[in-house]
Structure 1
Amino acid sequence: MKLVRCLTAEQTTTAIDLLATALPELSKGRIKDAMAKGAVLLNSKPKKRLRRAQTKLQPGQKLDIHYDDVLLQRQCDNAELLHDMKGYSIWFKPAGMLSQGNEWGDHLALLRAVELHFQHKRQVFLLHRLDREASGIVILAHSKKMAAAFSNMIARHEIDKFYQIAVRGQLTLELQQQAKINLPLDGKVCETQFTDVIYEPELNQSKLQVKLISGRKHQIRRHFAEVGHPVMGDPMYGSNNKDGNGLALQAVGVDFICPQSKQKQSIRLPEQLKHISV
């Protein structure tokens, strides 16, 4: 079942009573589950997730519910804390987990997982995103000051991000010698560099290390699809690249100067979390 409703309280009531009355097709148990998973928003400025069923609503207050029982029943592996510097932390995001939630919920979102891990004792700011289908390293800040510091570093290209991917086919010698793809995306200049290309003829796949010089949406996936070597398991770009193991793209490393200690940080994904061997 999938539905979207905007409800207005006509009188003082509770959130669960308003929702249960307006949505008789949903049991109170299913409504409470949807609330706990972030699928109910208090339509205020700014909107915020409403999780407590007994929250009092005043006349005129509005609730938005985006209910999809398929999405609400989805599960994925847990996120893992790799490095904690108090002011920021570095996490492994598994495939199938969003970087942040949306109107349909946040129970499978890294931001929510980190909030729960720290028992809401830290603020959590997302600094960059990793596609839901991809897995790997994500940096999160825990104060506005640290979020601003990292945002400035990202804008100045002072954070190096490294990926491992597997693509369809064998890269031409010319492309390997170029060791980069710099096709414009969305009318903007961008560049993807790569090294350590290994061709596996039995799979007709090439595995390689990638370094992003810019950060356009789906840049790695779009660039390699454009040159005829789509990332394996990519559901959006390329053809003849299906893979039952999922998207063969992992964020495996970050290098930067720590804004707290001023020392170089070089974080790599532990071997046991890697699913692409290069």
Structure 2
Amino acid sequence: MATIKKRRKDNSSLKKDITSYTVEEPTELLAFLLQTITNKSRNSVKSLLTRGQVHVDGEIITQHNHPLKPGQKVGIQSNRESIKQTALIGITLLHEDDDIIVINKDAGVLSVAANQPEEMTAYRQLTQYVKEENRKKRIFIVHRLDRDTSGVMVFAKTEEVKNSLQTNWKEIVEERIYIALVEGEIPEKEATISSWLTESKSMKVYSSPVDNGGKHAVTHYKKIQGNEHYSLLEVELETGRKNQIRVHLQDIDHPVVGDKKYGSVTNPLNRLGLHASTLAFLHPRTNELVQYHAPAPSTFYSKSK
């Protein structure tokens, strides 16, 4: 298994239109908010929690009795920004700054438009999102996830940042980790798959154990848990080829569930069993190592217990 590189966690949430307060003594969240926000009724303050407008140290918290410790930062997001975000369908904002937007994309949502230009793709929604603030703003595509793959994606907010990320992608990306639910019981705790991938005219990717002029691809995986029917894997990409994980798991006779194109005969999730859980890379402006994470759906775990 490939060595997992050290990374710096980035637990920051969106920083736009957030008013921050510092906790000075132990208390619970609702009590703190009622003491701090004196111009709203108790029900209005509760609604801030329900709508996910309250952040503690950058994490959205909705529990009224969430314990607070001195020194923690409580942020309250404005109604305008909250309404703008909740208008997004099938995508959740994980982080936004002047250079990038990071999202968690649901399965079934296209990254960018294909044959249906009016479809509410991630790209189209984020374009509308930034134009709410400034009509001249744009969004730029850095990389893609398949429609039926969920998880972490990053978009650039300027063409300069997009070009920087794409040109240096191999050098700046420290980690790309997926969670995959696959058919059958995998005996190995961890292993590496290596092959050469070529794409046919019908847009299907084929794998060869020897160099046939295709693109070399390397995939590492660790088994998280499993039963006689399914195994749950943590998959780390050493290379980033089209359909790499799906093809490589077919190679070892354990295709991703729901992936009929690459050998699956079951679909217990009613979707593709592949989720991009972690992306860590050097920020294009600060050059600091940042990491964004979106947990895999709970059904991935329940099906493989």
Query: What percent of counterpart residues are identical?
Result: 27
Q: Do the aligned partners of residues 155 and 106 (structure 1) sit closer, same or farther apart at CA in structure 2, a change above 3 Å counting? A: farther
Structure 1 segment 171-190 matched on structure 2, within 5 A: 171-173=186-188, 176-177=189-190, 179-186=191-198, 187-190=214-217
Which SS does the other structure have where 2:180 is aligned? strand
Q: Do the aligned partners of residues 170 and 270 (structure 1) sit closer, same or farther apart at CA in structure 2, a change above 3 Å counting? A: closer
Q: How far apart are residue 145 of structure 1 and its match?
A: 1.1
The question of whether the paired residues in 1 share the 8 Å contact of 2:258 and 2:264 is answered with no
Q: In the alignment, which of 100, 104, 116 is matched to residue 116 of structure 2?
A: 104
Structure 1 segment 39-78 matched on structure 2, within 5 A: 77-78=89-90
TM-score, with structure 2 as normaliser? 0.60
Q: 1:113-143 CA deviation, whole Å, 9 max, x = no partner?
A: 1011112542211111100011111100011
- For 1:274 and 1:149, locate their aligned partners in 2 and report how far apart those are by CA, in whole Å: 35
TM-score, with structure 1 as normaliser? 0.65
Q: 1:13-42 CA deviation, whole Å, 9 max, x = no partner?
A: xxxxxxxxxxxxxxxxxxxxxxxxxxxxxx
Q: In the alignment, which of 144, 152, 156 is matched to residue 137 of structure 1?
A: 152
1:269 is matched with 294
Q: Do the aligned partners of residues 139 and 106 (structure 1) sit closer, same or farther apart at CA in structure 2, a change above 3 Å counting? A: farther
1:241 is matched with 266
Structure 2's unaligned 5+ residue stretches are 1-87, 199-213
Q: Which amino acid aligns with 1:125?
A: F
Kindly indicate whether structure 1 or structure 2 has the higher relative contact order, using CA contacts under 8 Å at least 6 residues apart.
2
Q: How far apart are residue 152 of structure 1 and its match?
A: 2.3
Which SS does the other structure have where 1:111 is aligned? helix
The question of whether the paired residues in 2 share the 8 Å contact of 1:231 and 1:241 is answered with no
The question of whether the paired residues in 2 share the 8 Å contact of 1:195 and 1:210 is answered with yes
Q: How far apart are residue 185 of structure 1 and its match?
A: 1.0
Task: State the superposition RMSD in angstroms.
Answer: 2.1
Number of equivalences = 197
Moved more, 243-252 or 91-100: 243-252
1:70 is matched with none
Q: Do the aligned partners of residues 118 and 197 (structure 1) sit closer, same or farther apart at CA in structure 2, a change above 3 Å counting? A: same
Q: How far apart are residue 191 of structure 1 and its match?
A: 0.5
The question of whether the paired residues in 1 share the 8 Å contact of 2:130 and 2:138 is answered with no
Structure 1 segment 91-240 matched on structure 2, within 5 A: 91-119=103-131, 120-156=135-171, 158-173=173-188, 176-177=189-190, 179-186=191-198, 187-201=214-228, 204-240=229-265
Q: 1:238-277 CA deviation, whole Å, 9 max, x = no partner?
A: 1323334311100011111112122210111157x66533
Q: How far apart are residue 216 of structure 1 and its match?
A: 1.3
Q: 1:150-204 CA deviation, whole Å, 9 max, x = no partner?
A: 112314363421100100011243xx45x11112211221011112431223xx1
The question of whether the paired residues in 2 share the 8 Å contact of 1:232 and 1:242 is answered with yes
- For 2:195 and 2:168, locate their aligned partners in 1 and report how far apart those are by CA, in whole Å: 24
Moved more, 244-253 or 157-166: 157-166
